[in-house]
Amino acid sequence: MAVMDEFKEERDKIKHGTFKEKWKYFWDYYKWHVIGTAFVLVVAVWMIHDIVTQKESALYVELLNCATVYDDSEYLSGVEEYLGIEDGQALTVEAGLDVTDDTEDYTAFEVLAIRIAAKEMDVMVAEEETISGYAGEDTLIDLTTVMTEEQLEHYSDYFYYVDYALIESGYYENEDLSYEDMIFDGTAGHVSPEDMEQPVAVGVYINTTAEPGDYVCTTAEFNSNYYYSGEAIFSIMFYSEHTDAALQFLDYICGYAS
């Protein structure tokens, strides 16, 4: 029987067949088209829903190498109230990414790189070794250009400085440069700008474990939710559009909220 005759016979059978026969024919011949179309539709709906329902970021804080309690929602509610977070806005405080040299999971480094590339993160809090690396890449803002006079009075004695002359000279571009080399060269651990050619205050030392005196200390409420084993530095990313909120957050965690 000719192919066209077979096709005509099959079509006539389907035309006069039962619903079950018609459905079987349709599914046998078109199921992958249906599955593919459904998949594309689900993805499209998900993307549209995500875009429509996504809140505007009011502040995004990354607490690197930080231990945290399971539920910090009560503390964050206080932060949101102080910052004046409105409906449709979002405060994000992420903790737990481990980007120390001891970590064996390099996914954290990739996640952090993506957040920076997407200009998602406003505030970075981490130990000096981590902050110094990003300061050397010129990714942190000069805090003296955004702080109020009152904030400068509170924090200027605890600034973490980087020498911008070293950035311009390409000092930090050396791939073999380690944090130990920086300590040996005297380019790490700066709380004093006197020995720098172009000092820039890119961070504020905070400490969640020591008694008040040596450094600006965070409040007991902050310490009960987030924990650093030693000195940590608060910094703001150079691309941030929420510097006022970032500095308000600093005031809140250090007990200067009014």
Q: State the pLDDT confidence band at 241, using cuts at 50, 70 and 90.
A: very high
Most confident of 84-88, 104-108, 241-245: 241-245
Q: State the pLDDT confidence band at 112, using cuts at 50, 70 and 90.
A: confident
Q: How high is the pLDDT of residue 50?
A: 47
The residue written with tokens 């380019």 in the block is 187
pLDDT at 215 over 60: yes
CA 89 to chain centre: 16
What is the H or E stretch that residue 93 is in? Answer: strand 89-95
Strands 159-163 and 56-63: unpaired
Q: How high is the pLDDT of residue 51?
A: 44
pLDDT in tens, 32-90: 665 666 666 665 555 554 444 467 889 999 999 888 887 899 999 999 999 998 888 89
Instruction: List the structure tokens of 140.
Output: 């942190």
Residue 2 CB neighbour total at 10 angstroms: 7
Q: How high is the pLDDT of residue 52?
A: 44
Determine the Cα–Cα distance for residues 67 and 65; give it in Å rounded to an integer: 7
Alpha-carbon distances, residue 59 vs 43, 84, 191, 235 (angstroms): 28, 11, 27, 13
Which of left, alpha, beta for 65 (phi over 0: left; psi -120 to 50: alpha)? Answer: left
The residue written with tokens 């957040």 in the block is 115
pTM of the model: 0.75
- 227, with CB counted inside 10 A (0-12, 13-18, 19+), is middle
- 197, with CB counted inside 10 A (0-12, 13-18, 19+), is exposed
Q: How high is the pLDDT of residue 207?
A: 77
Q: State the pLDDT confidence band at 109, using cuts at 50, 70 and 90.
A: confident
CB-based contact 201:161 (threshold 8 Å): yes
The residue written with tokens 């993307």 in the block is 47
Determine the Cα–Cα distance for residues 248 and 61; give it in Å rounded to an integer: 12
Buried-exposed string 74-113: b where 16+ CB fall within 10 A, e elsewhere: ebbeebbeebebeeeeebbbbbebebeeeeeeeebeeebe
